Chain A
Amino acid sequence: MLIAAAVAVVVSMALMLARAIMGPTLYDRVLAVNSFGTKTVLLMGLLGFLTGRPDFLDIALLYALINFVATIAILKFFRYRSFQIPLSGRGVGGSDG
């Protein structure tokens, strides 16, 4: 029955992919990609159980650790237009939508 759970996760990945492609705002894309990453972690864990080897959990663990780096890079990109200044500073402001 674990395969049913894997299929459910794959279906939710497909739905999330549709949102990532459709947009409409860039924040929807960010949200969809981030959620897609969480589902990837889960699917990798399930795949490990389906194939009977636990080595894959290391990869899922890595994604769980660093998947939000991209989101923060995007936040910096739009809010500060620079990777130099620290996050606590003042942003460029709401010209973007």
Chain B
Amino acid sequence: MADIAAFFAHWAEPLRVWLGTALALAGGVLVTIGAVGVLRFPDFYTRLHAASVTDTMGATLLLLGMALLAGWSLVTFKLALIWMFLFLTSPTASHAAANAAHTAGLEPIVGRWRGDDKSEDGA
């Protein structure tokens, strides 16, 4: 029994830290990839994909990594709450934006994309 506990104390701690850091890093990379997509995709609807999908996964990975780093404490609970709220609100906001764009008559680009889109808010 004692050596199993010692084994865990010896290996579980570094593993937890390594895994947590790796997950956080993966989340950061994923979020950045999504942001590049938002910058480079041709129209609003494709950008919506790039933003909302990668955001949810990237946030999950980052928060999971942070929870592993924090260990078992109130911090973990707060991270879980953040994850839950992000999971509720982020897709809702994306839905609201897509709904507003669609009902306002913003057309997606269908077929091959050639050049810049014309629809501007005149800013």
Interface residues of A (CB under 8 A from B): 1-2, 4-9, 11-13, 15-16, 18-19, 23-32, 34-35, 38-39, 41-42, 45-46, 49, 54, 57-58, 60-61, 64-65, 67-68, 71-72, 74-75, 78-79, 91, 93-97
Is B103 within 8 A of A91, CB to CB? Answer: yes
For the complex, would chain B's binding face be called helix, strand, loop or mixed by DSSP majority? helix
Contacting pair A38 B90 (CB below 8 A): yes
User: Closest approach, in angstroms, between the C-beta of B14 and any C-beta of chain A?
Assistant: 13
A-B contact pairs, 5 of them (CB 8 A): A5-B25, A16-B51, A29-B121, A45-B62, A71-B93
For B34, what are the chain A residues with a Cβ–Cβ distance below 8 Å? 12, 35
A97 to chain B, nearest CB (A): 6
Let me know if B120 and A23 touch, CB within 8 A. yes
A65 touching B100, Cβ below 8 Å: no
Q: Which residues of B contact A45 (CB under 8 A)?
A: 62-63, 66, 79, 82
Further contacts, 15 of them, CB under 8 A, given A31-B38, A38-B86: A1-B24, A4-B25, A5-B27, A5-B65, A8-B29, A23-B120, A26-B121, A27-B100, A27-B101, A31-B94, A42-B63, A61-B82, A64-B89, A65-B85, A72-B93
